[in-house]
A and B are shown apart, each in its own frame.
Chain A
Amino acid sequence: MIEWSEQHLMIREALQRFVQEEIVPIHEELEHGDTPPYEVLRKMYSSFGMDEMARTRFEKQIAWEKQGKPPREKKDTADASTRADQTAMSLLPIIELCKYCPGMVTAMGVSVGLTAATIMSKGTIEQKERWGKDVLTFEKIGAWAITEPSSGSDAFGGMKATARREGDEFVLNGSKTFITNGPYADTIVFICKLEEDGVDSRDRRILNFVLDSGMPGLQQGKSLRKMGLHSSPTGELFLTDVRCGMDRLLGGEKALSKGGRSGREGAKDTFNMERAGVTAMALGIVERCLELSVKYANERVQWEKPIGEYQLIQDKLARMEVARMNLQNLVFRTIELAANGRSMNLAEASAMKLYAARAAVEVAMEAVQVYGGNGYMSEYHVEQLARDAKVLQIYAGTDEIQIRAIARELLSR
């Protein structure tokens, strides 16, 4: 893939119109107020038929699984160009929304991406029908909770949240933090460790439970104040003796019968998906920063010349363009891989995420610099993008963790 197709460009234009008509007028409330992003996101889902598409895909998959067939590989379900289009259709909304509200993308991605994907990959057919479908179509808001106050990068190893077996039931305890959509989630995937006598805490089985908002013992904290990403509510979850049956354990009995360190693999698949999403987010942020910077460099006059005529400013613009080209090529590669029914290995996905996050932060900070004092003011928008971009180096695996994954692969060659 060397460029967006005409269809892709049409989708971008339609999305741009949506952003201008539905998001720009409430941008202030989304980014500097307390308006949660869900209503607009749902409107986007219904306006573009994304809910309908998700429903159809869900129904096809369930019908297939009900015949007792093994889950289909993506490459068996469509031809190459359809697969490319499907991937592009999932990335284009990310790119366009990120030009204004990277937070909204986070709220959306965690719900219809992470949470729904976990239910759809680990759940039984009943669990998919009960929770997966509504989260996929955005009828319900999903949250995916692994991080805890004392475990982040080492999420599994340091995890303290527990599930204790009591007869047919499980009793869940623990607290989670930095949970996207936590304050508003209807459906929560809660990741914890099974209490097992005689097994070292690091080696205990990881279990995924699905919780509904309002269950006794589950408390959803209010939104935490943070540096940026204000259009994505982030909060804490507290579980005190939350009782649930086998029906809420993703995978049911089978999840228990797997031995040893099971339950960890699935989370890694979702990390990979997140990393491709982050690259598309970075591209959206960079495209917008570049567009704004070029405009300002042409307009702003100092010493009787537009600042764009000064080489130091030109250097910034040129670097932004290089980043844009690299990111776009990475997005194209993601689409091309999907078309070929292939996916990246962990090290490659990590390298992509590391580059994307750094590029977005560098470009957004330089955009602030091009704007000078105005860049530091909210009105000019680049300061928001700079604050928002920073999160890309932290969530979905910090830069340091990506570096570790890349180095490990290199050193084991």
Chain B
Amino acid sequence: MKIMVCLKQVPHQDARLDINADGTWIQEDNIKFEINSYDTYALEEALRTKDAGEADVFVVSIGPDRVGQALRTALGMGADRAIHVNDDEANGSDSLGLAKILAAVAKQENPDLIFMGLMSDDDNSAAVAPMLAQLLDIPHTTAAVKVERSNGTVTCDREIEGGAHEVVELTAPCLIAVQTGLNQVRYASLKGIMAAKKKPFDVKSVADLGLSGQVGTGAAKVKIDRIAPPLKGDTAEILSGSTAEVVAGLVSKIKELGLL
């Protein structure tokens, strides 16, 4: 079995975020990055499948040189090989552009399963996974909180509104976009990290994937115009006092506003 895991490297949750000069994204120089938290659960799910039987797990990421570290971390955790799409031409891709790149990789590799995060911690668009499944014309599910496999089919619990779970069955090849918390993500073992140096690591360009001119800023249908921190308002009221007083105040506020 072949499993593809899509990883995105995002700013570290403790990183200090400043807006860049033209106001279109954050300042990325000199900040720490990490693997998107959703994707770590996707990787863990793939590695569990591998632990339970035979599987070739490869990780794919799109981005500049720094992304290599995220891929090597995944190799350290147990992935078998990595594909790094490292090409300036991919810069500025919108969700569809990214999905096209991942689809081109998937077409070269023909994985039985694709695991990825439901969305990314940085821009929360949750669009790439369904788009990728559409481009590959394979079944998919999102917000998976439980994944069970038995020959050829995958049964997933997915989270829906109101905390309910919906159970779906998919036939491989298929794509599963996972919710956080569906498993306990392992630590990369010390030996694993050292061994990661020697695992296969392919670097591909947009042209290698036959996508010249089809991705990147030029092809993007969605562009970020401006990002800005939320404006500070003066409508918040902070309740103070003992816990009992604060709770009583909150309850009367809720009643007063007719929220219940």
Q: Measuring CB to CB, which residues of chain A are less than 8 angstroms from any residue of chain B?
A: 6-7, 10-11, 13-14, 17-18, 47-50, 52-53, 85, 89
Contact = CB atoms under 8 A, between A and B. Distances in A.
Given A6-B69, A6-B72, A14 B196 contact: no
Contacts of B187: 14, 17-18, 47-48
Interface in B176-227: 186-194, 196-197
The 8 closest A-B pairs by CB, nearest first: A49-B189, A47-B187, A14-B188, A10-B193, A89-B190, A48-B190, A14-B187, A49-B191
A37 B194 CA distance: 27
B191 A53 contact: yes
A50 B194 CA distance: 13
A48 B197 contact: no
Given A48-B190, A49-B189, A52-B191, A7 B69 contact: no
Contacts of A13: 34, 73
B188 to A, nearest CB: 5
Given A6-B69, A6-B72, A10-B72, A49 B186 contact: no
B64 to A, nearest CB: 15
Name A's interface SS: helix
A7 B191 contact: no
Interface of B: 34, 69, 72-73, 76, 186-194, 196-197
A18 B185 CA distance: 11
Nearest to B192: A49
Contacts of A52: 189, 191
Name B's interface SS: helix
B73 A10 contact: yes
Contacts of A49: 189-192
A11 B190 contact: yes
Nearest to B32: A13
A238 B187 CA distance: 41
Given A7-B194, A14-B73, A53-B191, 14 more contacts: A6-B72, A7-B196, A10-B76, A10-B188, A11-B188, A11-B190, A13-B34, A14-B76, A17-B187, A18-B187, A50-B190, A53-B190, A85-B194, A89-B190
Contacts, number: 44
Contacts of A11: 188, 190, 193
Contacts of B193: 7, 10-11, 14
Contacts of A53: 190-191
26 contacts: A6-B69, A7-B193, A7-B197, A10-B69, A10-B193, A10-B196, A11-B188, A13-B34, A14-B188, A14-B193, A17-B187, A18-B187, A47-B186, A47-B187, A47-B189, A48-B188, A48-B189, A49-B191, A49-B192, A52-B189, A52-B191, A53-B190, A53-B191, A85-B194, A89-B190, A89-B194
A49 B189 CA distance: 5
Nearest to A92: B190
A92 to B, nearest CB: 8
A52 B187 CA distance: 14
A53 B193 CA distance: 13
| Most chain A CB within a 10 A radius of its CB, from B69, B186, B191 | B191
A23 to B, nearest CB: 13
Contacts of B197: 7
A6 B69 CA distance: 8
Nearest to B34: A13
Contacts of A47: 186-187, 189
A197 to B, nearest CB: 52
Contacts of B73: 10, 13-14
Nearest to B187: A47
A26 to B, nearest CB: 17
| Most chain A CB within a 10 A radius of its CB, from B73, B189, B190, B193 | B190
A333 to B, nearest CB: 21
A87 to B, nearest CB: 12
A205 B80 CA distance: 55
Nearest to A90: B190
Contacts of B76: 10, 14
A85 B193 CA distance: 11
A286 to B, nearest CB: 20
Contacts of A7: 193-194, 196-197
B18 to A, nearest CB: 15
B12 to A, nearest CB: 9
